[in-house]
């Protein structure tokens, strides 16, 4: 039995270590401890203490040691008062925070004081000697050594268009689905993630209301769902509006109007300090008893700290409750905001289908930093019906200069819009300038993989210009703006 355990530990270490260590060794540890395990340590335990200062929000512990003599070191962690986890030989790098922890470890507050790494040594050959090093990383304020040291490598490490749903709920807030016996129950996160995976998406953001309880499960599920990126998110639900935040490293206090969060700009600064980006949800929805706090009513919004607007929520593509008009109005005010969509799914088996709409992002990689940076840049389009194959690419060209969605262009007298459109045969192109469809510039799409080129003059385009695709059922594809600087 001991031999089997040793074999499994060595195999797991060989599998897990390369992925965990990839691209992370350049992060500087806050504490480094070294020593030697000898044959006399076989079948014993050893404590390796380290001190955690006040204000730490996450710790990451990394163990490396000489395995050449078949020495095996199991790993665990204790805080000053209690057990925090045990992974044996399964992981050589573990993380613990209030929001989440490596499987086998307990999330929770990070008390200051004397912690220790606990070694268990199931095997050390007589007369052997194996050097080890323990590195400990801290997240404190703006310093995120621990987060960087445990960051997952990209699922796909190359630029491309990635399709996802940026607004999904599960049992950690108000998501529900049918149980095995057909009863309506809080829907487990894994059911929601399975449904998203079956829809063929490249990424999803799970955005439960005002909680980070799902972050721990996302950390557990991500290694298995290795074709679909799981982005930790929160729908920050306030009395005057809802906003999704993507990629926060910690809990963000949502209680606007309390001493810790006196106003909305204070909340926004906390979102930025947590490393997240902010998108305003369903801004044109009704508020009050019809939908409590659903519409965006904050008059003190710091728009410099907003990245995106949910232009399409579920099936609300156009009409009084759609976000498209709200987004266009903010663009006309000079704000640079990316239009995105989200299904707002609360039941993976229900009528609000995961992936409808789909937000399609051009990103440097399929990773949390890659997708959030792609949303910031704005080379993004919305597939309102959540197909797997519709495609939209747009550029504006003038005087030998070329800009894609999200970029700025200083034009000459004339400009041309270049579109690449897939799987929308028979639909029509709408050119939108400063929120209005330009008459006479529409074009019917002829072909399943079409290239369309349209001309417009400088006066028509000054401010911002975008394009949409309209079919018989309404808007099928919504593009993001290219900013035309005529000064």
DSSP assignment of 352-403 equals S-TTSSEEEEEESSBSHHHHHHHHHHT-EEEETT--SS-EEEEEEEETTEEE
Q: Is 324 exposed, middle or buried (0-12, 13-18, 19+ CB in 10 A)?
A: buried
Secondary structure (3-state) at 459: helix
Q: Is the pLDDT of residue 2 over 60?
A: no
* C-alpha to C-alpha distance for 290 and 295, rounded to whole angstroms: 10
Q: What is the pLDDT of residue 434?
A: 97
Largest CA distance in the chain: 86
What residues pair up with 132 in beta bridges, in sequence order? 35, 65
66-89 pLDDT, tens per residue? 999 999 999 999 999 999 999 999
Radius of gyration of the chain (CA): 26
Q: Is the pLDDT of residue 6 over 70?
A: no
Tell me which residue of 283, 302, 303 sits closest to 294, measured CA to CA: 283
Compute the average pLDDT of residues 435-453.
93
Compute the average pLDDT of residues 165-193.
97
pTM of the model: 0.92
Q: Is the pLDDT of residue 281 over 70?
A: yes
**Banded pLDDT at 142 (limits 50, 70, 90):** confident
Mean pLDDT of the chain: 93
């Amino acid at each position: 039995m001991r031999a089997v355990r040793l074999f499994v530990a060595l195999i797991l270490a060989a599998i897990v270590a390369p992925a965990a260590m990839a691209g992370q060794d350049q992060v500087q540890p806050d504490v480094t401890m070294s020593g030697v395990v000898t044959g006399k340590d076989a079948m014993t335990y050893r404590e390796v203490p380290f001190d955690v200062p006040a204000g730490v929000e996450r710790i990451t512990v990394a163990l490396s040691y000489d395995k050449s003599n078949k020495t095996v070191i199991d790993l665990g962690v204790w805080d000053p008062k209690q057990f925090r986890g045990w992974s044996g030989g399964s992981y050589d790098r573990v993380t613990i925070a209030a929001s989440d922890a490596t499987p086998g470890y307990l999330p929770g507050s990070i008390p200051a004081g004397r912690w220790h790494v606990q070694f268990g040594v199931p095997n050390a050959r007589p007369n052997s000697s194996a050097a080890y090093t323990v590195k400990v990383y801290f997240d404190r304020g703006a310093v995120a050594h621990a987060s960087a040291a445990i960051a997952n490598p990209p699922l796909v490490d190359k630029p491309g268009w990635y399709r996802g749903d940026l607004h999904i709920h599960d049992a950690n807030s108000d998501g529900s689905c049918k149980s095995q016996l057909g009863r309506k129950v809080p829907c487990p996160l894994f059911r929601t993630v399975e449904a998203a995976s079956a829809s063929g998406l490249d990424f999803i953001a799970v955005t439960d209301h005002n909680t980070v309880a799902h972050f721990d499960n996302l950390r557990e599920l991500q290694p298995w769902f290795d074709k679909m990126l799981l982005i930790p998110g929160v729908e920050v639900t306030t009395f005057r509006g809802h906003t999704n935040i993507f990629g926060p490293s910690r809990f963000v206090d949502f209680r606007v109007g309390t001493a810790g969060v006196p106003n909305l700009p204070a909340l926004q600064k906390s979102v930025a300090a947590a490393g997240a980006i902010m998108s305003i949800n369903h801004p044109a929805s009704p508020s009050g008893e019809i939908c409590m706090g659903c519409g965006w009513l904050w008059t003190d919004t710091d728009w410099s700290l907003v990245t995106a607007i949910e232009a399409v929520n579920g099936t609300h593509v156009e009409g009084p409750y759609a976000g498209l008009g709200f987004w266009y109005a903010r663009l006309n005010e000079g704000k640079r905001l990316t239009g995105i969509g989200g299904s707002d799914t609360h039941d993976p088996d229900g009528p609000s289908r995961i992936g409808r709409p789909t937000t399609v992002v051009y990103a440097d990689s399929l990773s949390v930093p890659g997708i959030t940076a792609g949303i910031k840049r704005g080379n993004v389009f919305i597939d309102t019906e959540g197909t797997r194959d519709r495609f939209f690419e747009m550029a504006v060209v003038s005087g030998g200069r070329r800009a894609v969605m999200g970029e700025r262009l200083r034009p000459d007298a004339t400009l041309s819009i270049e579109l690449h459109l897939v799987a929308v045969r028979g639909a029509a192109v709408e050119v939108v300038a400063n929120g209005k469809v330009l008459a006479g510039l529409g074009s019917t799409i002829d072909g399943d993989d079409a290239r369309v080129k349209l001309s417009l003059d400088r006066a028509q385009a000054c401010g911002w210009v975008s394009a949409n695709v309209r079919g018989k059922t309404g808007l099928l594809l919504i593009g993001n703006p290219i900013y035309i600087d005529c000064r």
